[in-house]
Each structure stands twice: as C-alpha cells, then as structure tokens.
C-alpha cells in the first residue's frame, strides 16, 4: 500500500485494531459522556479536546522514548499508576457524592462540570498508564524502523487515531445531550445512571491500582 513509503505497515490491521480499542469503554469516554450529559455540547467538546491533547502528548512521549523509560522503571510506572488510580477514585467519589448526598444536586453538578473540564480530562488522559503501554506496544507494530523519518510514521498513525476518536467522542457528546434531555423529567433514573458512572470510575481505579507492571 502507498503508506508503506512513509514507514507505515499493515494499515488495515492497524485500523481494525484501532477501531476496537477506541470503542472499548474506558474512563476517558465515560468522562466525556458524563460531562456532555451534565453540561451540554460545549462542555463535552472541552472534555474531548482534553482527551485529544492527552493522547497527543502520550504519543509524542512514546515517540521520543520517555514512555518506554516509564514502562521500564517499576518505580516510575507505579507512581503513574497510583496517580491515575487516585484520580479515578476521586472522580468516582465526587460523582456519587454530588448525585446522592448533595442537597443541591443539579446546581452543584452544573457548576462542577463547567469548572476545569478541559484540565480534568487532560489529567485523566495523562495519568492512564494503560495508554502509555498501548502507544508503546501497539504503534510500534505498524512502523518500519528502517524508514528514515519515523516521526512522520507516528504522525500518520496518530492522525488516524485522533480523527476516529473525534468522530466517536462526538457521537458520545451528542448522545449524552440526548440522554440528558430524555432523563430530564426522570430524576430517579438519572441519579441511578450517574451513580453507575461513579461506580465505574471507582472500578477503573481499583483495576488500575492492581495492574501489574
């Protein structure tokens, strides 16, 4: 295929793998869905762009070798792993508290969503060591390291991933807004849904904390 001249190998296998990996629910996608449901399309895209930037930074770190160093160092990997787990746990507890224990649930949730959405999404993306492992182990399988400009190869693969991620997260954003409208008059069901999302975040935190390096 013509992309091989740019050091990209087995592009159809890469696209198939990328498709299924992006579609698997994770903390980033759940956060974008929750944010769009609570704050609307604009806040949903703020969260999405935080995820995009976090992914771009991790891809760049994998390219220059920093991600490999983190993976190779048990101490650094453990630090990143527990930072990610702590942040996921924090978000999960905060969602559950705002949903079931706050006296002004709606107003407090709206205020929380509007504040620092981009920063929270970026932090969530950057403290995910599984993403580091993904960008090391997955990308390298589709790059010809005999090619003189592997940075271009990384850029091509990363652009494809970010483009598909944008489409998928856009679907989640508008889906989240539609769900918010549907459950707007069904407060109990909406609270249950928020509680489930909070529990998912706590579950991701537990899984991440017990992840073996």
CA distance 71 to 80: 10
Evaluated on CA atoms 108, 110, 112, 114, the torsion sign reads negative
Burial of 53 (0-12, 13-18, 19+ CB in 10 A): middle
Q: Residue 167's pLDDT is what?
A: 92
Which tokens sit at 102?
């706050």
Separation CA 102–CA 84 (nearest Å): 26
Give the pLDDT confidence score for residue 35 in this predicted structure: 86
Token pair in block for residue 5: 């001249």
Residue with tokens 């889906």: 175
**Which residues, in sequence order, are bridge partners of residue 8?**
143
Output the pLDDT for position 108: 47
Q: Which of 45, 34, 131, 126 is nearest to 83 (CA)?
A: 126
8 A C-beta contact, residue 153 and residue 8: yes
Residues of the chain with pLDDT under 50: 105-108, 111-113, 213
- How close are the terminal C-alpha atoms of the chain, in Å? 36
Domain boundaries in the chain? Answer: 2-209
Q: What is the dihedral of CA 57, 21, 176, 179, to 10 degrees?
A: -170
Q: What pLDDT score was predicted for residue 211?
A: 61
Q: What is the pLDDT of residue 183?
A: 62
- Cα–Cα distance, 9 to 29 (Å, whole number): 28
CB of 51 closer than 8 Å to CB of 28: yes
What's the Cα-to-Cα distance from 18 to each of 101, 145, 177, rounded to whole Å?
39, 20, 26
- DSSP letter assigned to residue 62: H
């Amino acid at each position: 295929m013509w992309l091989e001249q740019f050091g990209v190998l087995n592009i159809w296998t890469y696209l198939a793998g990328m498709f299924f990996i992006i579609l698997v629910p994770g903390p980033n996608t759940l956060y974008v869905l929750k944010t769009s449901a609570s704050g609307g399309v604009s806040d949903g895209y703020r969260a999405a762009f935080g995820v995009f930037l976090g992914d771009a930074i991790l891809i760049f770190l994998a390219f220059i070798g920093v991600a490999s160093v983190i993976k190779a160092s048990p101490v650094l990997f453990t630090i990143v792993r527990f930072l990610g787990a702590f942040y996921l746990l924090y978000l999960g507890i905060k969602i559950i508290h705002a949903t079931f224990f706050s006296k002004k649930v709606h107003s407090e949730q709206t205020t929380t969503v509007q504040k620092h959405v981009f920063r929270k999404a970026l932090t969530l993306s950057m403290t995910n060591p599984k993403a580091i492992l993904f960008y090391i182990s997955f990308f390298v399988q589709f790059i010809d390291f005999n090619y003189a400009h592997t940075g271009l190869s990384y850029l091509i693969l990363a652009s494809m991933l970010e483009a598909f991620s944008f489409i998928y997260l856009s679907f989640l954003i508008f889906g989240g807004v539609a769900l918010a409208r549907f459950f707007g008059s069904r407060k109990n069901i909406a609270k249950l849904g928020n509680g489930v999302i909070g529990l998912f975040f706590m579950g991701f935190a537990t899984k991440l904390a017990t992840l073996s390096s």
